[in-house]
Amino acid sequence: MNDLAPLLTPEGRALLDSVRGTAPADELAVATRLRREHPAELVSAALGQARLRQRAVAKFGAEDAGRMFFTPNGVEQSTRASVATYRAERFRAMGVTSVADLCCGIGGDAIALARAGIRVLAVDRDPLTAATARANADALGLAELIEVREADVTEVDTAAYDAVFVDPARRSTKRGRIFDPEAYSPPLSWAVRAALGAPHAALKVAPGIPHEAVPEEAEAEWISDGGDVKEAVLWFGGTPGAVRATLLPGPRTLLGRGLPDPEVRSVGRYLYEPDGAVIRAHLVAEAAEELDGGLIDPTIAYVTADVLRATPYATAYEITDQLPFNVKKLKALLRAREVGILTVKKRGSAVEPEELRRKALPKPQGTNAVTVFLTRVAGAPTMLVGAPARAVTGAGPS
């Protein structure tokens, strides 16, 4: 069913309520029972929507996801609610009271903006997607603040709005994920022109965007949530050339200061694994300075130090052993330590973690846990063995 309207009728809404929480194993029996009283197509649409709502809980939370409407692409591509809320708060802090949300999708960002008290024009050219965004604004009681318009974003006049937010499509049905910013829909160059024509703007881009592709007029921000890098945002109307890494929940923000690369040191007692947003933003030097640390290799984003310091920007491990890459030696060490739980991380190594885990610990015989880092130290393939460091008392840097 490519039309959302039947699900918005009293019959459709009643069906959605009746199939809420249906387990995949029970779908056939539920569908068979409901098709005795309702059109088969409507029953299938309700069950499909129920599945999408269950998938959406991770992004929107159970309460909102249980009331919202989704498309398969909408669940996949929509912004996580925590990230959208953070961005909306940044807009509000700038004094923004109205935003033209271009390529709005199912309305995730528009919802966060409206909840921050910002008036939104949400635009998408796909009829079903626009209808879904409109249904979501209504379902969450935000219709007075969100106007949804089905239109080509390149033809929309945004002059009446304080800010523009553009979230170009970065996936193709034929090619999958798109890495070239000029292959976005619309292209990044168009989005930049739209941003430069507004007092404030934010462009959502893939976190892998090359730094050289960031316009000189923009501030670049990489955002992670719960340790996973979610997106990069190009901000206009603020500080051109600024770079920041923001970690959620929090938020905790590390600002770039243009520091040179850290010095390379021998491996100390502690190894720090910077958050992905810090690495993507090229702010490992800033994180290392806070830790009074250095790099284990000039090309590897692992920071080493002899003193344990609290930081939100990296995870600390206490290193107990440093070995040249040798599976037999690692296997013997794990057996001697009675290791039964092995976590393998890698950076700068072609070896697959699962392959090493299978060879080094074929038959777990103990209860101890260790972490092995496959990496390079001063250019040499190396295995670092350790465990998560105990938390430091006292507050870390903000």
Helices (H) and strands (E) in the chain, counts: 13, 18
Confidence (pLDDT) at 133: 97
Confidence (pLDDT) at 94: 96
Q: How confident is the model at residue 394 (pLDDT cuts 50, 70, 90)?
A: very low
pLDDT, tens only, 331-382? 999 999 999 999 999 999 999 999 999 999 998 888 999 999 999 999 999 9
164-197 burial: b if 16+ Cβ within 10 Å, else e: bbbbbbbeeeeeeebeebeebebebebbbebbee
Confidence (pLDDT) at 187: 86
Question: What percent of the chain stands above pLDDT 70?
Answer: 96
Q: How confident is the model at residue 396 (pLDDT cuts 50, 70, 90)?
A: very low
Confidence (pLDDT) at 308: 96
R_g (Cα) of the chain, nearest Å: 25
> Could you identify the residue written with the tokens 């168009």?
190
* Cα–Cα dist 220/89, whole Å: 17
Confidence (pLDDT) at 395: 43
Compute the mean pLDDT over every residue in the chain, rounded to the nearest whole number.
93
41-52 burial: b if 16+ Cβ within 10 Å, else e: ebbebbbbbbbb
pLDDT, tens only, 114-150? 999 999 999 999 999 999 999 999 999 999 999 999 9
- State the average pLDDT over residues 289-304: 96
Confidence (pLDDT) at 286: 98
pLDDT, tens only, 174-214? 566 777 777 788 888 999 999 999 999 999 999 999 999 99
Q: Which of 209, 229, 220 is nearest to 313 (CA)?
A: 229
* Cα–Cα dist 192/181, whole Å: 11
pTM of the model: 0.91
* Cα–Cα dist 227/249, whole Å: 9
* Cα–Cα dist 352/355, whole Å: 5
The helix (run of H) or strand (run of E) holding residue 358 is helix 353-360
Q: Which of 184, 349, 214, 330 is nearest to 280 (CA)?
A: 214
pLDDT beyond 80 at 393: no
User: Token pair of 17, please?
Assistant: 């309520």
Q: Are 330 and 359 in contact (CB under 8 A)?
A: no
Highest mean pLDDT among 28-42, 168-182, 379-393: 28-42
* Cα–Cα dist 103/31, whole Å: 34
